[in-house]
Amino acid sequence: MKIRVGFGYDVHQLAEGEEFWLGGIKLTHRKGCIAHSDGDVLIHAICDALLGAANMRDIGYHFPDTSNDFKNIDSKILLKETVGLIAEKGFTIGNIDATIALQEPKIKPIIPEMQKVLSDVMGIELEDLAIKATTTEKLGFVGTEDGIAAYATVLIQK
C-alpha cells in the first residue's frame, strides 16, 4: 500500500451582503465570502490537500476562477469531482483533519452537520473527517472579521 499526505489552505475576504457557505452548509450571518464560486473555504482547502497529495497541482488549476463554468458553483460539486480525479489515479481517502479560523459566527454547534454533508459527498466514513474551529483572538484579518481561513491535512492511499 502506498500512502501520501497533502496539505491545503484557503482564505476568502468577508463582506456584508454576501452568501456564507462553509462545509457545504449555507450559514446565516451578516457577512459572507467574496468569491468566484460559492467561497466555501473549508471545501477549497480539502480539495487542495487531496490534489496535492496525489501530485495533481491545485484547485485553481482544475477549476480556474477565470472560467464561467465555475461562476457561483456549489463547492460540493468541486469536491466530488476532486475525489473522482484522485480516484482516477487509484487513490482513496484515508482521513482528513481540517481547521477553520473564523472570529464570528461561532460554528462549533454545526460541525457535526458539516461532517455529515462532506463525508457523504466524498463517500467516506464520518469518523474519517475531523473538523475543528478556532479564532485568532481578534488578531489579523480573521480576528478583525475581514476574512476567513481554512487548513486541511489529508492522507490518501493506493
CATH superfamily label, 3-157: 2-C-methyl-D-erythritol 2,4-cyclodiphosphate synthase (3.30.1330.50)
How far apart, in whole angstroms, are the C-alpha atoms of residue 103 and residue 55? 33
Which single residue is written with the C-alpha cell 452537520?
113
Q: Going residue by residue through the chain, which has 158 residues, state the pLDDT in tens, using 9 for 90 and above.
A: 899 999 999 999 999 999 999 999 999 999 988 888 889 999 999 999 999 999 999 999 998 888 787 787 899 999 999 999 999 999 999 999 999 999 999 999 999 999 999 999 999 999 999 999 999 999 999 999 999 999 999 999 99
The answer, as to whether pTM is greater than 0.85, is: yes
How far apart, in whole angstroms, are the C-alpha atoms of residue 158 and residue 144? 42
Write out the binding residues. Answer: 10-12, 36-37, 44, 58-60, 134-137, 141
CB 21, CB 33: distance < 8 Å: yes
Write out the binding residues for a divalent metal cation. Answer: 10, 12, 44
* 52 CB-near residues (< 8 Å, 6+ apart): 6, 7, 8, 58
Q: What is the pLDDT of residues 73-108, one digit of tens each?
A: 899 999 999 999 999 999 999 999 999 999 999 999
